[in-house]
Chain A
Amino acid sequence: MKILSKFYIGIIFLLLYLPILVLIVFSFNEAGSLAHFSGFSLTWYKELFHDEEALSALRNSLFLAVFSSLIATVIGTFGALGLHRMKNRYLKQPILTATNIPMMNPDIVTGVSMMLLFVALASLLGSKSFFGFGTMLVAHTTFNIPYVLLSVMPRFKQLDPSLSEAAQDLGCTPARAFFKVELPQIVPGIISGLMMSFTLSLDDFVISHFVSSPNFQTLPLYIYNQTAHNVKFSMYALSALIVALILVILLIVNFAGSFGQRKKGEVKK
């Protein structure tokens, strides 16, 4: 039974990783063939780093992810505070439901709905079209906000209200009580909301696909355009780099903590 379970895990993970491993190996392939590995070479990596379009897409992606996640975190955190204290159930429940629409809907519907909003606004205002960085920023902020709320709201629920009251009795203004007493307790929720928003924004393709314009391309949109017709080997190199980067980050996040604990344990001994 034990051997069987290990075997099963092994097979599934092998199948799950096979395409990714092949992709990484062939990103070093000299010949630019998908079927035969003719020799090790960094040609495709060189091509990638000289590809001005790819580099600008990377810059755009990072820029957009930083701004959309920051805006979403600010709006979402204050939103969570306001909603947490809101007494009126008939107002609160519809707002929460509406906030969760982008999480519930498939991305394509969210993307299409935002596109229609911008199309309608453009025709109302008489301008031709304003797809670009602005529409991307709005769309990314919008789909990030529910995730911020999701990670911050539970923190507010765990707060002890008497702490904030005590701060105000001791002379804090309500705003000051919030920043001094409550904010430090909800910071872990805010940080996880921020990180989640940042990665969701970097990763998003479907929603961006509907609200972007050719003058503002993010990395996923660039990959989509490059892979639309034929195989491009510099995309193999790019994908391999992304996979390697994510692996390193995941390993650090998951194992750095346990290394630290082991060190502490050794000190105790």
Chain B
Amino acid sequence: MKGRTAFQKLAAVPHIVWTVMFIVAPMLFVLYFALTDADGRFSFANITSLSQYTNVFILSIAFALIATVICLLIGYPLAYYMAQQKGRTQKLLMVLLMLPMWCNLLIRTYALMTLLDNGGLLNSLLDSLGLGKITIVGTDFGVILGMIYDFLPYMVLPIFTAMTKLDKQYIEAAHDLGCSHLQTMTRVVIPLTLSGVVSGVTMVFVPSISTFYISQKLGAGKIDLVGDTIERLFQNPSTYNVGAVISLVMMILIIISVQVMNRFTDDEKRVMP
């Protein structure tokens, strides 16, 4: 038995070493850079400079929240209807839902941008119909639309999975016991698929709040979100420290919101550990 335990103890060693070196240590370096100046001296200057970025944070949180809520409003009924489809149709719909998720985000964002752009297909169609052009790329609406378009499947899939696990007899029982359609939804279906909603919300909110490609392309560089700010600050070694502070704040913000979200579901169905 001695050899057995030795082998098992050693089995996790590479993993532990890797985790400490490449997950824990980088996080400590973020903290270190956040608390020092460009010369490596201890400093609170970065933290006090955060106040300049308050608006960027507020804008990012607002955009991500709006995109998440709209994704939920569109995605929940979609997942519900998809779960009602039978066998093959349902499987095909699932493949169609997953295809964009497997497709690189850059490609999808780029495709959407060129469709909506001033010289794009949408505007040339509107123009030829005599309706005039609409500007979407470069506006707040464009960026939020990009987030919704890119991340909607991430909202639908976990809710859909929760829906398919839901025992259809519960719904019949609710109807038999005199629930209306609305009551069945609010008292049976929604509470039982809440874990899917929590996963979906997290999977839309986190990439939305941290994106920079969507705001670069659909915001045409005019809209500055937290992601853009971090990306820009890390182009230049002299601003690494401020970038580290902003990354740290965003990380803390996300950890708090995920913890709050997890309160809505019981421990068994946690989204993230």
Contact = CB atoms under 8 A, between A and B. Distances in A.
B91 A254 contact: yes
B22 A239 contact: no
A168 B4 contact: yes
B171 interface: no
B99 to A, nearest CB: 6
Contact of A5 (B84, B103, B115, B240): B84
A98 B100 CA distance: 30
A23 B114 contact: yes
Nearest to A107: B210
Chain A binding surface SS class? helix
Interface in A1-34: 5-6, 8-9, 12-13, 15-20, 22-23, 26, 34
A102 interface: yes
B209 interface: yes
Interface stretch (B24-32, B51-59, B162-170): B24-32
B8 A227 contact: no
Nearest to A4: B81
B173 interface: no
B105 A205 contact: yes
Contact of A235 (B11, B110, B117): B110
B122 to A, nearest CB: 9
Interface string A25-55: 0100000001110000000000000000000
Given A12-B74, A223-B104, A254-B95, A82 B9 contact: yes
Nearest to A204: B104
Nearest to B29: A116
Contact of A116 (B30, B110, B111, B121): B30
A12 B6 CA distance: 56
A246 B103 contact: yes
Contacts, number: 234
Contact of A104 (B24, B212, B272): B272
Interface stretch (A62-70, A171-179, A186-194): A171-179
Contact of A34 (B6, B117, B217): B117
A108 B244 contact: no
A142 B14 CA distance: 12
B50 interface: no
Q: How large is the interface on A (under 10, 10 to 19, 20 to 34, 35 or more residues)?
A: 35 or more
A83 B19 CA distance: 13
Interface residues of B, number: 86
Contacts of B110: 23, 223, 227, 235, 239
Given A8-B81, A23-B114, A35-B121, A223 B107 contact: yes
Q: Which of A81, A104, A107, A205 has the most CB of B within 10 A?
A: A104
A79 B16 contact: yes
Interface in A113-132: 113-117, 119-120
A174 B13 contact: no
16 contacts: A19-B112, A22-B111, A34-B117, A34-B119, A35-B120, A79-B15, A95-B15, A101-B23, A106-B251, A110-B26, A112-B247, A116-B29, A223-B110, A227-B106, A250-B95, A255-B95
Interface of B: 3-4, 6-16, 18-20, 22-27, 29-30, 32-33, 74, 77-78, 81-82, 84-85, 88, 91, 93-96, 98-100, 102-108, 110-112, 114-115, 117, 119-121, 123-124, 149, 152-153, 206-207, 209-210, 212-213, 217, 227, 230-231, 234, 237, 240, 243-244, 247, 250-251, 254-255, 258, 272-273
